[in-house]
Structure 1
């Protein structure tokens, strides 16, 4: 019988679930709800996820939770207690262990004496970057994650620095976190440029395109207007996106004040985000002898792979890698934290999606092609009839050329012209910029 470990990243705008067995098979879910809504709704969502996986809670040996959510630390402890009570009532036999920012795992009562240590544990992202960096054999890495409410950039320059102490030290001088994400609201700065604000849409109203009462435009709305996102495939299609509502919000709050078209305003937002993150990476690399163009970029998060290729181009980076489970990287990292704390559990050298279609024996070059849609790539705002590919339908060692968009359940990869992609045997997507 397989042994299972389960991790949860309680985010500000989305909550991520990752279930892994001994063979490295991953079951993944991203839901637009957080612990802000209620612990009851979260416990119910966990139960539904296990039903989808056909797994009983009693067979799960470890439950690891990361608190990436804006709330007082003592309140987070209380929510964790309440969630644990509800899970025990539903048949769970393993307690919740909370991840600290320094890579420890604490039972709830232990964490209550140092509650601040469990808030925003960036160590998960660092361990995910280290795991995939080792797997792909790249020495100099930029790890980029753009989620719903925040972004995270880190440098990894020596794969030999594999101890938790080394990673812990890198939190001080090789990591930048900032309030920027897919659900960040768009505003206008003193230079009359559209910018992302620190305020963001919460899961209730969400971005304007969610059609849940949100009035103000977000980066997600801009990405939808530019054609980067599939209006029918966001979170497995759980939230149909309304392009007309995104356009209406951008028109009212951005385009009209700037006397521009909706598409121009959306493009300026996208370009500004990419320049801002590129500048953050330049600051990190400036303290090291290796120039930015000597790095490879690992892209994570729901929005990271959308903007990664253009960020890489601005930096002169020629190689972008979007790993398996890129959209749930923090939750995946918490399982790696668990492995660091449990010597009896060896993380497999490769991970794969449980039940995920791996088209080893298919025939035909265009099996993964889903269709075409208009996408705005260039500043002249001439739309491109862009091919759209299903990531699950791409075989190992398949290649395809940009411009292209590659869609998965939790993240979307946007490729520009003069680039091509290859799927490796680990199901990591490599993108080469010419």
Structure 2
């Protein structure tokens, strides 16, 4: 019988689940439900997920939770305790252990003594970067995560990637976090340039394109208008995206005040986000572009793979890697933290999505091809008839050339011209920039 571990990343805009067995098979879910909602709703979603995977919660041996939320630490402790009580009542046999920012796992009663230590544990992203860096044989890494409400960049090299202690020490000097993500609102600064604001859409109304009452434009609206996102495949299609509402929000708040088109306003936002993150990465290294050529960029989060290739190009980085489970990297990283704390359980050298890969899903010249979509890549705003691929249908060692968009249920990869991608034997998508 398989042994299971389960992790939860409680975020500001989404909550991520990762269920892993001892063979490295992953079951993944991202939902627009957070700890700000009732714990009853969260327990229901967890129950639906476990039922769908046909796994009895009673056989799960470890339950790890990370608090990637903005709330008072005492409130986070209360929420975690309520969640634990309801899960135990629902048949779970293991209590919650909370991840600390320095890579420890604490029962709730111990976390009460230092609740600040459990808030926004960035160690999950560092652990995920180290794991996949070792897997691809690359020790010099830029790790980029763009989530719903926050972004995270870190540098890892041969020294910082060797141990948990060295990763922990790098948290201050080689890591930066930002209040920006897919749900960040966009406004105009004093120079009348579009900028991402610290405020972001909450899960209720969400971005304007969700059609739930939001009227302000967000980065998600921009990525949709530029053609990067599939309006029918966001979060497994659970949230149909409304292109007309995204355009209306951008028109009213950006395009009209600037007297430019909706597409140009969206392009300015996208270019600004890419340039800002590239600048932040350069500041972390203090390096010139040429020195970053020795690095690979690991892209995580729902929006990270959307913007990673252009950020890499700005930095002079030649390889972008979008690993298995890229859209739930923090939750996956918490399981790697668990392995560091539990010598009886080791993470396998390779992970795979349980029930996800299907090489016969498509037919035709290239079996993963889903179709074509108009995508705005260039500053002249001439749309490209871009091929769209299903990541689940790409076989190991398959290659494809950019421009292209590769879609998965938790994240989308945007490739520009002068690039090509290869699916490696571990099912990591490796993109090479010419």
How would you bin the TM-score normalised by the shorter chain? over 0.9
Report deviation, 1:363.
7.7
1:295 aligns with 2:295: yes
2:346 is the alignment partner of 1:342: no
Q: 1:208 to 1:362 in 2, by over 3 A?
A: closer
1:157-176 equivalence runs, <5 A: 157-158=157-158, 161-176=161-176
1:429 maps to: 429
Counterpart-to-counterpart distance in 2, 1:240 and 1:349: 36
Aligned counterparts of 2:406 and 2:33: Cα–Cα separation in 1: 25
2:224 maps to 224
CA contact (8 A) 2:362 2:393 kept: no
Shift of 1:135: 0.1
Instruction: Determine helix, strand or coil for the equivalent of 1:113.
Output: coil
Question: Residues 392-407 of structure 1: matches in 2 within 5 Å?
Answer: 392-407=392-407
How far apart are 1:37 and its partner, in Å? 1.0
Q: Do the aligned residues in 2 keep the contact of 1:277 with 1:311 (CA within 8 Å)? A: yes
Q: 1:361 to 1:391 in 2, by over 3 A?
A: closer
Are the counterparts in 2 of residues 9 and 331 from structure 1 also a CA contact under 8 Å?
yes
SS in 2 for 1:233: coil
Per-residue CA distance 1:21-61 (angstroms, 9 max, x = gap): 00000000000010101111011110011011111110100
* Residue in 2 that maps onto 1:94: 94
Give the 5 Å matches for 1:28-39. Answer: 28-39=28-39
Distance 1:213 1:362, change over 3 A: closer
Residue 53 of structure 1 aligns with which residue? Answer: 53
Native 8 Å contact 1:14 1:148 kept in 2:
yes
Equivalent position SS for 1:292: helix
Note if 1:260 corresponds to 2:260: yes
Contact 2:278 2:314 in 1 (8 A): yes
Task: Name structure 1 gaps, 5 residues minimum.
Answer: none
Alpha-carbon offset, residue 356 of structure 1: 1.3
1:379 aligns with 2:379: yes
Deviation at 1:286, TM superposition (A): 1.2
CA offset digits 1:146-189 (Å, max 9, x no partner)? 00000000001116742211010000101011111000000001
Offset at residue 213 of structure 1 (A): 0.8
| Cα deviation, residue 139, structure 1 | 2.2
Q: Provide the C-alpha distance between the structure 2 equivalents of 1:386 and 1:289, rounded to a whole number of angstroms.
A: 29
Q: Do structure 1's residue 323 and structure 2's residue 308 form an aligned pair?
A: no
Distance 1:334 1:32 in 2: 20
Would you say the 8 A contact 2:374–2:384 is kept in 1?
yes
Q: Which segment drifts farther, 282-291 or 20-29?
A: 282-291
Which structure 1 residue ranges, 4+ long, deviate > 6 Å from structure 2? 287-290, 360-363
Give per-residue Cα distances to partners, 1:179-232, cap 9 Å, x unaligned.
110000000011111000000001000000001111100000000000000000
How far apart are the structure 2 equivalents of 1:189 and 1:277? 18
* Separation of aligned partners in 2, 1:348 and 1:362: 30
Q: Judge conservation of contact 1:184–1:201 (CA < 8 Å) in 2.
A: yes
Q: Displacement of 1:368 after TM fit?
A: 0.2
Aligned to 2:310: 310
Aligned CA distance change for structure 1 residues 337 and 290 (closer, same or farther; 3 Å): farther
Separation of aligned partners in 2, 1:394 and 1:74: 46
C-alpha deviation, 1:290, in angstroms: 7.7
Aligned to 1:249: 249
1:150 aligns with 2:137: no
- Structure 2 distance, partners of 1:386, 1:362, is 18
The answer to whether the Cα contact below 8 Å between 2:360 and 2:393 also exists between their aligned partners in 1 is no
CA-to-aligned-CA distance 1:91-124 (integer Å, 9 cap, x gap): 0110000000000000001001100000000000
Alignment TM-score, normalising by the size of structure 1:
0.98
| 3-state SS of paired residue (2:112) | helix
Kindly report the root-mean-square deviation, in angstroms, between the aligned alpha carbons of the 2 structures.
1.4
Seen in structure 2, the aligned counterparts of structure 1 residues 259 and 208 have a Cα distance that, compared at 3 Å, is: same
